[in-house]
Amino acid sequence: MSDSITVRVMLGSYDIVHPAERQTQVYVQIPEVGRAVWLLDEEMYHVLKDRPWPSVVDSAEECYVRRGTVSDPVSAASRAAVMAWLRDDVNHDEMYVAWEQDQARQHPVARRLLAENERLRGQVAGEELAYERLRVALESAKRGRREARARIAELGTQDERRRARLAAAESDLLAVRGLLSPAGGARRVPAEVEIHERVAPAVEWLLNRVAALEAARGRVYRASHDSIVMGLYTTAAEARKHCVTEMLREYDESTKVSLWWSEDEDTVDKPEDGEQELFAHVTPRGFDRGRTWRTGYVVTPLEVASEYDEGADE
């Protein structure tokens, strides 16, 4: 847009009524803004003709304001639009650049000086860009060193913590070995169970032993039919399975049999303390309706004592 900005200072006769009088005309054209004209006294030509264009326009407007010049509304609006545009610093600089380019077109020496000035500006801009890149690289390197130092310190702290945990683990391992095989005492795990290089086998043996002991004590479940004991089981699920199997053996595949247990809202692994009775609904082949009844199969939880209680018999 700078190449299209035009400002001209001309001396001539612009008054139709007084054609012998000469005036200074300041003509301004700004694309997308408009055109504007100021008519000043003759002596202003020599004052303004060599000035930069922004100064020319400012001086022309100042003369109009100082004299209180009155003109038609259209001309006044055009001048006001140009002055409003020029008040923006970016636009002011753009008009100044347009003046410089206009001067360079008119004067070869000035043209060369302007070209050299542009070259130097480009060189300075390139050097500033290179400097900024070097500054950013230096800051990145400094930040990298700081992060590396922090990471090294963090790793050192982690290493200390690991050493402390390792020392505590070795101390606990020695204590566990002492418990499994006390000095001067009997070994508490079988001789074939490893406790020196690794203690996991000994821990596994102990857990299995505890599970076996817990399974051998406490409650058992009796499966019976019409008070006839069919078997004792450590889980209610197995006792129920026995009862259901026996019940289904009484019917062939053509008979539709539906079975359910009282208290069946609980899981088979956690039955109620009371008895659970098996109910059946049987529909023989060829019948639309069957019948429901109590089958007589019962699962009863029983407590198994771990030792004899003499008073319990009384």
Q: pLDDT of 7-24, one tens digit each? A: 999 999 887 777 888 999
Residue 195 forms part of a structural domain: no
Q: What pLDDT digit, counting tens, does each position of 37-62 carry?
A: 999 999 999 999 999 999 999 999 99
The whole domain housing 259 covers 218-312
**Residue 283 forms part of a structural domain:** yes
Helices 73-86 and 53-67 cross at an angle (nearest 10°) of 130
Structural domain ending residue among the three candidates 87, 106, 125: 106
Amino acid 189: pLDDT:
77
Q: How confident is the model at residue 182 (pLDDT cuts 50, 70, 90)?
A: confident
State how many domains the chain has. Answer: 2
Region 69-93: mean pLDDT is 93
Which residues partner with 9 through β-bridges? 26
Would you say residue 61 lies in a domain?
yes
> What are the tokens at 295?
């089958």
In a domain, 207, yes or no: no
Confirm whether 135 is domain-assigned: no
Domain end marker among 106, 128, 163 = 106
Say which residues have a Cβ less than 8 Å from residue 141's Cβ, sequence separation at least 6: none
pLDDT at residue 194 is higher than 90: no
Question: So what's the pLDDT on residue 2?
Answer: 46
Residue 89: inside a domain, yes or no? yes
CB contact burial 154-190 (16+ within 10 A = b; e otherwise):
eeeeeeeeeeeeeeeeeeeeeeeeeebbeeeeeeebe
CA of 72: how far to CAs of 46, 77, 145, 259, 278, in Å?
Answer: 27, 9, 72, 109, 113
Given 106, 141, 170, the domain boundary residue is: 106
Residue 48 domain flag: yes
Is residue 206 in some structural domain?
A: no
